[in-house]
Amino acid sequence: MKNKPSIDPSTIKFLFDLSRHNDRVWFADNRSRYEEARDNFARFVQAVIDEIVEFDPILKGLEAKSCIFRINRDIRFTHDKSVYKTNFGAFMVRGGKKSADRFPGYYLHIEPGQSFISGGAYIPPAPWLNAIREEIAENGDTLVKIISSKEYKRYFTGLEGEKLKLPPRGYSKDHPHIELIKMKSFLPEKSLTDDEVIDPEFFTLVTGAFRAMKPVIDFLTTTR
């Protein structure tokens, strides 16, 4: 790919400014900046999807617009009345972001000072979570081998996610993979600096990380 897709510095700057002026009047005055930043992110996400398809064909035909989350916040049931999110996020998964509770996928989060690459399964519903735990109980060595591999560790350290304090019902505290079984989410995660996000090689970093994540996606997919 001669001209690699990139995140423009103006996209990060817009999100930074939005975090300082999170109100409808400022947003309306800066709508053109928002649209430019949104479109930049959407083009980048589409290019990432097209690259993922090379090693995960199940995403073929997926469009960025079905993966990107709205910038408007739902403020009905929260004390924080900030109108807008100060990030762009996309969950690349079969069926788009609405399928996040059904299938594992790939997640990209762009936010000044808090960007990260992630994926896997975030708080899966009970039937899926139980199936993942059963798979770990029977084939946990496979998952350990994946997250211990040189390629995986090039980008990630283990799996992130909340964890139960005690083993779930039916599992012994002495099970060799009990710490993985106790997890409630299964998330490869890599933090990113702003400099990494706007680097011309960011596309290579993101797609490389997602390629390294693919065996985890496959493991979680076997439980669906």
**Residue 59's CATH number:** 3.30.930
Going by pLDDT thresholds of 50, 70 and 90, the confidence category of residue 120 is very high
Helix, strand or coil for residue 91? strand
Q: Does the pLDDT of residue 82 top 90, yes or no?
A: no
pLDDT for residue 74: 73
Q: In this structure, is residue 85 part of a structural domain?
A: yes
Q: Does the pLDDT of residue 184 top 80, yes or no?
A: yes
Helix, strand or coil for residue 165? coil
Q: In this structure, is residue 62 part of a structural domain?
A: yes
Q: Does the pLDDT of residue 80 top 90, yes or no?
A: no
Question: Higher confidence at residue 144 or residue 81?
Answer: 144
Q: In this structure, is residue 3 part of a structural domain?
A: no
Q: In this structure, is residue 2 part of a structural domain?
A: no
CB 199 within 8 A of CB 4: no
Residue/partner pairs of 166-172 with CB below 8 Å, 24 or more apart: 168/133, 171/133, 171/137
What is the percent of the chain where pLDDT is above 90? 92
pLDDT for residue 194: 98
Spatial separation of the C-alpha atoms in residues 71 and 146, rounded to whole Å: 34
Q: In this structure, is residue 25 part of a structural domain?
A: yes
pLDDT for residue 79: 66
Spatial separation of the C-alpha atoms in residues 221 and 2, rounded to whole Å: 33
Q: Which domain holds residue 80?
A: 9-221
Q: What is the mean pLDDT of the chain?
A: 95
**What amino acid occupies position 123?**
I
Question: CB-based burial of residue 184 (10 Å sphere; 0-12 exposed, 13-18 middle, 19+ buried)?
Answer: middle
For the CA atoms of the chain, what is the radius of gyration? 19
Spatial separation of the C-alpha atoms in residues 117 and 152, rounded to whole Å: 13
Distances in Å between the Cα of 91 and the Cα atoms of 33, 95, 155, 169, 211 are 23, 10, 18, 31, 15
Beta bridge partners of 4: none
Going by pLDDT thresholds of 50, 70 and 90, the confidence category of residue 3 is confident
* pTM for the structure as a whole: 0.95
Spatial separation of the C-alpha atoms in residues 70 and 81, rounded to whole Å: 16
Q: In this structure, is residue 18 part of a structural domain?
A: yes
pLDDT for residue 90: 98
Q: Does the pLDDT of residue 223 top 80, yes or no?
A: no
Q: Does the pLDDT of residue 2 top 90, yes or no?
A: no
Question: Higher confidence at residue 82 or residue 192?
Answer: 192
Q: Does the pLDDT of residue 174 top 90, yes or no?
A: yes
Q: In this structure, is residue 95 part of a structural domain?
A: yes
Spatial separation of the C-alpha atoms in residues 64 and 81, rounded to whole Å: 28
Q: What average pLDDT does range 217-221 have in this prediction?
A: 96
Q: What average pLDDT does range 131-147 have in this prediction?
A: 97
Total structural domains within the chain: 1
Q: In this structure, is residue 69 part of a structural domain?
A: yes
Q: Does the pLDDT of residue 12 top 90, yes or no?
A: yes
Place of tokens 């990494």: 196
Distances in Å between the Cα of 121 and the Cα atoms of 66, 74, 93, 205 are 18, 23, 11, 21
Going by pLDDT thresholds of 50, 70 and 90, the confidence category of residue 81 is low
